[in-house]
């Protein structure tokens, strides 16, 4: 299961790097820029798919990490 956790973590890192400019908006908040971070933007197409894949990989990472830490699976 360690190999599965490593594969999930690598995929999670890669998919996070593919996400759009949400990080740029977050850096504007730290620098005192505009307040576009909390505006309601609809995700469509590829951006929506990447967001869903990120959520699924994050949940898989959490579940596998929890199961490994409790000793349920080895």
Q: Quick check: pTM over 0.85?
A: no
Of 3, 2, 57, 45, nearest to 20 by C-alpha is 45
Residue range 26-36, pLDDT digits in tens: 555 566 655 55
Residue linked to tokens 């909390």? 38
For 1, the 3-state DSSP assignment is coil
Across residues 52-69, what is the average pLDDT? 94
Please provide the DSSP assignment of 11-57 as one string: HHHHHHHTS-THHHHHHHHHHT--SGGGS-----THHHHHHHHHHHH
């Amino acid at each position: 299961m360690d190999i599965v956790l490593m594969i999930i973590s690598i995929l999670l890192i890669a998919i996070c790097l593919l996400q759009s400019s949400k990080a740029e908006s977050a850096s504007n908040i730290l620098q005192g820029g505009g307040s576009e971070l909390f505006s309601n933007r609809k995700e469509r197409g590829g951006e929506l798919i990447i967001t869903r894949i990120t959520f699924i990989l994050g949940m898989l990472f959490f579940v596998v990490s929890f199961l490994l830490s409790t000793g349920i699976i080895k």
